[in-house]
């Protein structure tokens, strides 16, 4: 038997004010874009903003539906828009924030499992890691250098061959 371990590191900043100007701008834009979310059932608005390798900015928000499985997360809305508007252009950095209308939004949250799979697939597709900035409406900010770090032992195209 072999025993293996998986670990990754990430940076933790106490607030957006500690970030460089571009990262701070992306986080603040993600916080602002939460206002565009359609989340009448959960009251949990999520916004995502990405800077692409070509300098373009793309945004996405969560879109809920009364038939819960039909809703979309902000990250997947952003990935779909990016793939359609800018085919095969890499995402350099994606900022994700949320506004919990029923409580506090003071700590970073991480993408759900389905979004982690989608982020890993996009990274594979464009052959470049996606750097993530995770935050709430205030408080700490996490920086993760490669989104696929969030999905160890992921399923991918190589598994279909």
User: Using one digit for the tens of pLDDT, what is the confidence trace for 59-90?
Assistant: 999 999 999 889 999 999 999 999 999 999 99
Q: From residue 36, how far is each of 56, 68, 147, 157 by CA, in Å?
A: 19, 19, 24, 34
Report the predicted TM-score, pTM, of the whole model to 2 decimal places: 0.96
| Residue pLDDT, tens place only, 2-33 | 999 999 999 999 999 999 999 999 999 999 99
Per-residue pLDDT at 156: 86
- Which domains, from first to last, does the chain contain? 11-151 (3.40.140.10)
Per-residue pLDDT at 153: 87
Query: Parallel, antiparallel, or unpaired for β 91-100 and 131-135?
Result: parallel
| Residue pLDDT, tens place only, 97-140 | 999 999 999 999 999 999 999 999 999 999 999 999 999 999 99
Q: Which of 32, 35, 56, 75 is catalytic?
A: 75
Active site residue 75: yes
């Amino acid at each position: 038997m072999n025993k293996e371990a998986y670990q990754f590191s990430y940076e933790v900043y106490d607030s957006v004010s500690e970030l460089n100007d571009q990262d701070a701008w992306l986080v603040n834009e993600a916080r602002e874009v939460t206002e565009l979310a359609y989340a009448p059932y959960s009251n949990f608005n999520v916004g995502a903003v990405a800077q692409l390798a070509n300098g373009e900015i793309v945004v996405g928000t969560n879109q809920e539906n009364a038939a819960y499985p039909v809703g979309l997360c902000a990250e997947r809305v952003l990935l779909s828009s990016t793939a359609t508007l800018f085919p095969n252009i890499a995402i350099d950095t994606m900022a994700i924030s949320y506004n919990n209308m029923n409580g506090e939004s003071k700590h970073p949250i991480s993408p759900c499992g389905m979004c982690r799979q989608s982020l890993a697939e996009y990274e594979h597709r464009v052959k470049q890691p996606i750097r993530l900035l995770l935050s709430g409406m205030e408080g700490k900010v996490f920086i993760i250098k490669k989104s696929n770090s969030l999905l160890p032992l992921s399923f991918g195209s190589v598994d279909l061959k």
